[in-house]
Structure formats: C-alpha cells, structure tokens
Structure 1
C-alpha cells in the first residue's frame, strides 16, 4: 500500500470557519502521513492560520500544499475583509456569506480541471462540490464535523416530518433511531418544530441531497464510540462512511497541541506552569468554542457560579470587541483579585487540546460542539454540557445519556448561530460544576471518560478501527485511480 498511496493526490476544501478548517488540516496531515499528496484550499485572509499548521506539518516531514482562492465580498454585499463565518455571523450576514462561498465553485472547477486529483474532500457546507467534482469524474468525499449520532438524528429529522407536540416542554421520541432518543420541541431548529420550509431547512436539504450523490463521507469519530449509530448511518441510511477520528490525535507533542488553530491569547508556558502547580483532577475548564457570544449578564452568572462553587478553573471568554474594556459589565467587582491563584481567565483563543490533556484538568464545561466533545473524549475528561444551537443538543444526548460522561447544565432552547442564548442562572451552573468535580458520581464519570480515552488512543494506532478505515479508504481510492 505504501508505494500506491504515494500516488494518491487529494484536494481538501474546508468551510471558512475555524471549527471546520482545523480538523480538515488534521485530516490532510493524516493523508500525508500515509504517503499521499494533500492540498488545502483557503482564501487570502484565512491563509495565515492555515499556513501555520502547514509549516508545523512541514517540520515533521509531512508537507501539505496550499491553494489560495480570492473571496468575493463586494458582489454579495459583504464588507471587505469578512472572510470567515465567525465574522459574518457577528454581522448577521449568513446569507451574504454563503452566497460569497458559492462563488468559490468556479475557481474550484478550474483547479479540478487542471489538476485532476484522485479525490476531493469537501466540507458539508459546500454542497455544490459534489456536482463540481462529478464534472471531471473525480470522487467527492463529504467531511462532516460532527458525531455519527448527530448525523443520524439530523437526517431522521430531515426525512421524516415530525408530529411535534404543541407544548414546548413535552417530550417526543426521534423516530427510527436505535435507543429511545428523547427531545423537546425547543431543542430542535425552529423550522423543524413548526414544519415550514425556510432558509435553514432548504440548505440542510441541499446538504442531504449532495451527500447522497457523493462518493461517501469522512466522519471525525471512531466506531467503538457510537457503534449502533455508525451501523445505522451505513446500513439504514445507506451512507458509505469511513470513521477516521479522533483526527486531533495526530497532534502528538505539546508544541503541536499548543499551536493548533489560531494563535493563543495566553503564553503556553505560563498556562502549563499554572496547571503544573495544581493537583491531578482539580481544575475545571470552561470554553464555549469559536462561535458563541454570551451576554454580559450570562458571563456574570458564570463568574458568580465559579466563585461560589469553590473550584479551581480555567475560563476562556470570547466576545464582541475588546473584552478587557468591558470587564466592568460582566466581572463581579474584585473577582480576579479574589480568584488569584485559583482561577485563570483567558480572553480570546486558548490552546484547548494542550489544556484538556493536562493531568490537572478533571472536567470541561462545553457548548457541545463536536470538535470540543471529541477533544474532551480523547483526553479523558468528563463534561458539563451547555448546548446552544446547531447539532449541539444531539451531542449533549450522546455525552450525557449514551456515553454517560456528562451532566447537563439545563440549557433548554435551540438558538440560531450567533444569537444570544437565554440566561442559565448561577445556581444551575454552580450545581453542575460541583456535581462534575466531586463525589461518587463524578468519579464514575471520570473512570468512564478515561476508558473512552484509552479506546480513542488505540483506534488511531496501527490495527485500530480508525487507522484501518483510513487505510481502506486510501486503498479504494488508489484502486479507483489505477482503474481509471
């Protein structure tokens, strides 16, 4: 396979959002580590983030090529310089951003025609990529940045219109899925609860139809984590899927973990030094991903809960504008002085994988984005789940009810990306933090989380299921290329 795999030429096209680009870069590294040639597509203003990862990969003897496309903002009414989904959502310009993204189809087709790669791996949010690749008889693989469980739940919602109860709090079961999967009306997107055809549902239909026509799906998960749903996705929903995760585990040493993604807002050595001073399993880590923007009132509730819980913590806070200038709006007076040595606030991007992997971290308060969930699983931490939107309420069910390694904080309503969620009160946050950090139940969850960590580490090693799935995919693509 070694000689054959060197002939494989793969182009990878992530969606222009950090939570999508980072795992796609990890996937490029996995292909290159098996001898394939890999090229990442991005746009001018996203290139510096991608280049950093490519340079780190180069140091390890795994070169990745870069292809930069121009991003048209003016034609669709986007302000100049807005080239990431996070920026567009902050400006409430989802439609304009997706229109600009659709315009990347033309340069993609030009590249595919001139390069004729063996495969195109394109993000789920680029549904037109299937037809673009088909024009040149190039197999398109869809990259879904979420769990197999969530993929199944989303597809069931899409395919089988629900007779959703009128009461917001009334529980209903997702049809057809293995297990009794319960949700309330408020935990699913508005268009599915009201059963109307809006922008979001139309877009999800485009994604679903594109996926069915594609060559197959790459899933950043591993079979042993969710076997019933991996089987349902392949057998009942008829998807050709390869589970190759957790892809973040390709970052082996501390430097790779610290430098993954955007430049951190804290010095990695200071962060490690702070963690090194703590006892094992004594710190809780709080982070809500790259997209969530909380109100000052909600940040204030979190601060008060952390102080009253008595727990040591690292808290990553992101916001619109300069958070430091607005400290008085959300930080209780004297909070940082009182928390000196007990709590560390990181304003901006944090080296999350490095932090989670430290022995001092016991638990993780998370928005249930799949990158974060899988990074938590890969490092053996239990979780407090606080879903906000997207597929995060499904991921919460996986963590709390199926894997049983988490406690819900009590978030009840799905919100569109970028919206300010309803306030979760201090008492609920404090209760969940205490519950996940101390006591018999917390110990049992930590033990289960550690078993999943060991499972995750084994699955990406030679002979493991994810390693074997990637080998199988590479062999199949090589065989198809040879046959052509």
Structure 2
C-alpha cells in the first residue's frame, strides 16, 4: 500500500490500482509557466491520473510547479528554458521565448523517453498548453497524437478569431461601443487586442496549432457557453472535450505562499457579509487606484478580505501607500489585507457574499462554482470577455466600466452586489448556475461524460 496527500486528504493507493494504472498508457503534459495556465494543467493531470493514465509533466525551470501533494507516480521533469523573472512583465516576449527556447529540450526529452520505453505501457501522446505552438512540429515529426489544452474559454477563442481577421490595425474610437455581430452581448472593445505584428503572428500560430491538433481539451462546460460552442466547433472540425471546471476534480498545492489566518477570520464573520477582493497573479495597479479602492471599500460599510500581492502596486513594495485612516479599519476588525490566500477555500466559505475580481477565467470559474456574485474590473486578455459573460449572459455580477477606479463608483458597485435587491437576484442566479455545474460533474452530467469520452479517445483514437 502507498499513499499521497491531496488538499489535506490522505489517498491510499493499493498495488492492484497501481498495476491497473500502468496498463492505461502514458501521457506527457506540457504546461505554460504562468499561474493561470499552470494550475488548470495540473488539475487536468490529476483528472487523467484518476482515469488510469500514467503522467509525466514536462515543465520549465521558470516558475516550476511544486511536486509535493501529487501522487508519487505523477512524474515531474524540468527542462532548461533560458527565461528570467524579468520577462514575466512582457507576455508577448515571454510567449515568444518559450516557443523558441523550449523546442529543442522538449524534443530531446521525448526522443529519449520514446527510445527507453521498451516493455513499458504505450506512449499515447502529448497534451500541451495551446500557447505552446512549438509542440506541433515535434508531434508531427514523431507521429504522436497531440492534444491542445485551452485554459481559457471558447468565447475568447472566437474573439481571437475575429481579432486576427481584423489584423493588428487600430480600432477607431467610434467602433468601440458597437456590438460584435456574431456575439452581440460583446462590444468591439471587449475583443482581445493585437497591437503588434509580432503578437499577431504568435496568435496566428496558436490558432493554427489548435486547429491541427488531434483533439482539443477545454476547461469549460457547454452550459456556460452555448453561444460560442457552434462557432468554436465549426472552426476546429476536430473532437472537442469540454471537461471543466477542472479545479473541482482535485486540489492542487498552491504555487504561492498563502495566508491561512484569513480562514479563521472569516469564521468569525456573518454569512454573506464579506466582500473578497483579488486581481490575480499578473494585474498591477497604481498608487492612486489603491487609495480609491480603499476608500470605496471603507465607504461601502461592508467587511472585506483584500489580497494585495507584493510589488503589485506601482512604486510600492506592498500597501505602504494606504492612508493611515484606512488602516484603522483593519485595526478595528472590519477587514483584512493579505498577500495571498487559498482562493478556492475562501470562495467556498459561507461568509463570502461577493467577489471583486479582475475576471481571469480561473477566478471566474471558481466563483460561479461556489455561487458567489462578482464585481468585475477586467484589464487585458480574456478578462473583458469573461466580465461580459458574467454581467450580460449569466447575470451573476456587474462590470465596472472604463476601469472605474473612483471611490464613489466603487462604493455604489459594492452595495449593488452585496446589499441591494439587484444583488440578491445575482446571488439567486449564481446559486442556480452552481447547481447546474454540480450536475455536469456528476455521473451522467456533461463534463463527466466528456471526461469519459476523452479517456476512451486517448486510448483508442
């Protein structure tokens, strides 16, 4: 007998289960080393491991995952990448260098692994983050099945298609408020921006690598994206497996040190009384925005749990730019400011009544799966599209337009979500959506069935 720990739960694996797993076949997973991409891939690894596959995760040295907390027979292999922490601030440069620097070491590893597999379970293919388009050439040369994994949603993919059709030409101001013809709940300004020819070329390569994959795996479910699903499937013309939300299958160990004292503080708060604020792992704000957020929170009269990452405020190490008067609110127990939290656990806590978010896809999924209404402040990438889904399609939140970092608007928006009748309706719809998602994950549900079909497809083609 052997065991491992997942989310504090000890899972025992007997020798019979190990033998069955080794007969399932071997998969290599290649995640992108950004937290919003890494975490879903690790959840996918856990899901596929539970389906009987043996797993090797090939990852960069840059922001490498922590293997502890995963089953001992999930293997982690580090490859050289030539990246530095400074490159994280320029996503275009980071993606370009990932695709340039990682092709040779990944190819060498796969060739070596394939040559050493005599007498072992079959090598069934590669699952790669869709942004790592270099994998396409390797899989073609080695004649391996290749599965593109999309960590964001189908609506964003359709938005990218519309953007690439336009090219990198600037959008005129008078066009920004116009609805998108094929997805009218979106406005032109919500579409992802492709401001440079370099990014335009990279996006084209990502789309091509997705279209030419053996199949596509998505961290979403059809109940959330009925509008985009037909266009998504029509563009790809290959099997698509909607297996999300993946974070509900397992708990991945945190990639950033978390402050668990916030959980005991939440335990002292009344149900649905606290607004939780977090803008994810990449968004930065100015000092003036920090101050406006603080006074908006103070004036809303609602208790708060606020994540402020170190160095996420321009020209500041942490929160030293906050007014002294605001700090007294924390001393008086009305709120907590922390550097990072176990977000899934926080959103599941009964004290949380709303989530002020940057609208990253992982955060959006984690919020709706717990029935928590959202206040959306999108900045870049897929965030504007996600915020529009939240506010205009699902009706489980509101979007602060034009960045909206003004204390009066913040106060009003918090109260709309947390206090007003409008917020109660959002909560009701959020709980309905939570129930639909739970049904999709249970036996016979759409995501459960998709994961079973994926298992069969990987094994049998």
Query: If the TM-score is normalised by the length of the shorter chain, which range does it land in?
Result: 0.7 to 0.9
| Alpha-carbon contact 2:168-2:194 (below 8 Å) kept | no
> Where do 1:376-391 residues align within 5 Å?
376-391=367-382
Residue 372 of structure 1 aligns to a residue in which SS?
Answer: helix
Closer, same or farther: CA 102–272 of 1 in aligned 2, 3 Å: same
Matched residues in 2 for 1:273 and 1:102: separation? 46
| Structure 1 residue 13, shift from structure 2 partner | 0.5
Deviation string 1:353-386 (CA, Å, 9 cap, x unpaired) is: 1100101111111111101000111111010011
Closer, same or farther: CA 472–188 of 1 in aligned 2, 3 Å: closer
| Alpha-carbon contact 2:27-2:126 (below 8 Å) kept | yes
> Where do 1:64-75 residues align within 5 Å?
64-73=74-83
Corresponding residue of 2:118: none
Corresponding residue of 1:42: 59
Corresponding residue of 2:159: 153
Closer, same or farther: CA 350–136 of 1 in aligned 2, 3 Å: same
Matched residues in 2 for 1:383 and 1:129: separation? 36
Residue 57 of structure 1 aligns to a residue in which SS?
Answer: coil
Which of 111, 125, 150 is matched with 1:113 structurally? 111
Closer, same or farther: CA 157–363 of 1 in aligned 2, 3 Å: same
Matched residues in 2 for 1:378 and 1:324: separation? 34
| Structure 1 residue 246, shift from structure 2 partner | 0.5
Corresponding residue of 2:442: 461
Matched residues in 2 for 1:205 and 1:308: separation? 46
Is the aligned partner of 1:312 residue 2:293?
A: no
Closer, same or farther: CA 43–235 of 1 in aligned 2, 3 Å: closer
Closer, same or farther: CA 129–163 of 1 in aligned 2, 3 Å: closer
Corresponding residue of 1:450: 431
Closer, same or farther: CA 125–191 of 1 in aligned 2, 3 Å: closer
Matched residues in 2 for 1:406 and 1:189: separation? 21
Corresponding residue of 2:319: 327
Deviation string 1:47-79 (CA, Å, 9 cap, x unpaired) is: 4x331xxx3222xxx731111112224xxxxxx
Matched residues in 2 for 1:229 and 1:239: separation? 16
Corresponding residue of 1:129: 135
Which shows bigger deviation, 22-31 or 231-240?
231-240
Matched residues in 2 for 1:96 and 1:13: separation? 16
Is the aligned partner of 1:245 residue 2:244?
A: yes
Deviation string 1:60-105 (CA, Å, 9 cap, x unpaired) is: xx731111112224xxxxxxxx25xxx4233x48426632542111
| Structure 1 residue 324, shift from structure 2 partner | 8.1
Q: TM-score, normalised by structure 1?
A: 0.83
Corresponding residue of 1:404: 395
Closer, same or farther: CA 282–40 of 1 in aligned 2, 3 Å: same
Matched residues in 1 for 2:137 and 2:390: separation? 35
| Alpha-carbon contact 1:249-1:457 (below 8 Å) kept | no
Corresponding residue of 1:11: 28
| Structure 1 residue 23, shift from structure 2 partner | 1.0
| Alpha-carbon contact 1:460-1:466 (below 8 Å) kept | yes
| Alpha-carbon contact 2:159-2:192 (below 8 Å) kept | no
Residue 171 of structure 1 aligns to a residue in which SS?
Answer: coil
| Structure 1 residue 46, shift from structure 2 partner | 3.2
Structure 2, unmatched stretches of 5+, are 1-16, 115-122
Residue 46 of structure 1 aligns to a residue in which SS?
Answer: coil
Matched residues in 2 for 1:367 and 1:128: separation? 30
Deviation string 1:4-30 (CA, Å, 9 cap, x unpaired) is: 994221111011111111111000000
Corresponding residue of 2:102: 104
| Structure 1 residue 387, shift from structure 2 partner | 0.5
Corresponding residue of 1:420: none
Corresponding residue of 2:173: 167
Deviation string 1:372-423 (CA, Å, 9 cap, x unpaired) is: 00011111101001100011111111111011111111135xxxxxxxxxx7
| Alpha-carbon contact 1:5-1:474 (below 8 Å) kept | no
Matched residues in 1 for 2:62 and 2:152: separation? 26
Is the aligned partner of 1:183 residue 2:187?
A: yes
Matched residues in 2 for 1:161 and 1:122: separation? 26
Matched residues in 2 for 1:144 and 1:325: separation? 34
Which shows bigger deviation, 98-107 or 32-41?
98-107
Corresponding residue of 1:76: none
* Total equivalences in the alignment: 433
Matched residues in 2 for 1:430 and 1:336: separation? 18
| Alpha-carbon contact 2:247-2:366 (below 8 Å) kept | yes
Residue 384 of structure 1 aligns to a residue in which SS?
Answer: strand
Q: TM-score, normalised by structure 2?
A: 0.87
Deviation string 1:306-356 (CA, Å, 9 cap, x unpaired) is: 000001111000242899855342x11132222332111012x22111100
Which of 295, 306, 311 is matched with 2:286 structurally? 295
